Chain A
Amino acid sequence: MTLPVFGRIPLSAVFGTLILAGTLVLFLFGPMLAPYGQEDVLGMPFAEPSAAHPLGLDQNGRDMMSRLLHGARMSVGVSLAAVVISFCIGVPLGFLAALRGGWPDLIGARLVDIVMSIPVLISALVVLQALGSSLPVLIGTIALLDSTRVFRLARILAQGIVVMEYAEVARLRGEGLWWMLRREILPNALPPLMAEFGMRFCFAFLFVAGLSYLGLGVQPPFADWGGMVRDCQQGILYGLYAPLFPAGTIALVTIGVNLVVDWALAGRTTIQGENR
């Protein structure tokens, strides 16, 4: 991916980049910026927004904005960790499978097909049922399930590169595994993998939030955006905006990532949004 000229970035991509930058700041410094603790009860449940509490209080009388800032670390962190792990597992294995071929490749591909033939949410529910919901289980489960998708993409990309004549020349020269992976396959597979990283992050982020919304994701006392929606959902029946703040934040981050990914993918004909 060549670096784009700044003046020609479309408005949507600028917008997306700004949202991403904002998310990064929240992730890194959110808890430090929060005026109150995530567990501090400060007033009446569902108190209206005021100067002291710009977004009002939640169903237990805790400051909404502070909880949003605290929750950023959990919501973004869990999904980011899961996606990083899934790439660390999926990419090397996918490359190796494509490069080596033979029966390990076939078995790997079949296994991944079978795992992928169960909807992700259902697989996750099965595992969480068995192991209970803790942070390591949550991250590990999402990472493993996600790594099947990463494996498949990495394998397809590497298969496409291995049959290119420049890779054949390297094999004819007797190059070892490390050179093939590092110098021939990785640089050429990188741009689509980067775009996939964005898409997978988006998916994992929505997924963690969704699980938390179902009460099966990040557990109290930690604040996280999906769980916050669940907690103050009742407020909506009284015409309160409270649950829309965390839900809207989730939507905004997702839009930001999607805008950037869409821009990076412009001109490619990848079918997006697989495996929701």
Chain B
Amino acid sequence: MADENMKGMEHSEVHYFNSYNHHGIHEEMLKDEVRTRSYMNAIVQNKHLFKDKIVLDVGCGTSILSMFAVKAGAKHVIGVDMSTIINKAREIVEVNGMSDKITLIQGKMEEVELPFPKVDIIISEWMGYFLLYESMLDTVLYARDKYLAPNGLIFPDKATIFMAGIEDGEYKDEKIGFWDNVYGFDYSPLKHTALTEPLVDTVEIKAVVTDPTAVLTLDLYTCTTADLAFSSPFVLDCRRDDFVHALIAWFDIDFTACHKPIRFSTGPHTKYTHWKQTVFYLREVLTVQQGEQIRGVLENKPNEKNKRDLDVKISYQLQTDDPTRQAEGSCEYKMC
């Protein structure tokens, strides 16, 4: 935090950029094989796309993606990152003999000056929890509008948010019910807060009660920052008789420009990623039967005060003929 560049920044912003200085997060990301291997394959297996191209790596971190791009034959790569991790990236690029191929610039994308007026390809690992929390997508879109040549490529270029309903009684009790009795005391005010805080955690596939459904697809070639505040209806088909304590969200990432399209998912049905899944507990428990539907709307918008925080609202209605099980409601959440 003593860094000169941080002066005059919002406190929350300083914290955001600083949290990336610590090694733990980079270690976690690099050790996330689903993530790193997907990027590696998307880049290194597509030498025909990268050969002799100018590439921009938005939020380059330890510069692993930049180095993949050099390996794939890029003419030159520009890596931009706000965090002081870029000093490490410089050392890494140097010892790997790529200093002449990779230019690293510390600063905000919106403020730095690139050595090339246009780039052929933008690569970026910008995704946050719930895809959009603390994500760098707005920065990627800025870079696209300013620097991407016509017919340029974006890796990845498609992101889809999915939702599903889960049975999660025991853990909900542990996380939320905990506050009903803390060492013999009533702590319900904190229970209320707990319900508004989505949980980032691993969900087992056997907990999933409904079919997954896509609620939002972002095409990175065409979407704008305005699309990041959205309101999307969804329908969840219940696959068995069970209870639904929470709705969960995750995302899939597509590299459609690849010769053979590459895709990875952060859902409960596949391998662990550091993004896990995002759990939104409902205040009530839905009692559902196979064949019934939960219809609802997922709303998301950046918080007005702190743009890195998200305000999420989920409204839902259980479609059932059984009057005793009818349920309808809406819950507001804050990711911060």
Q: Do chains A and B interact in one complex?
A: no
Interface residues of B (CB under 8 A from A): none
Interface residues of A (CB under 8 A from B): none
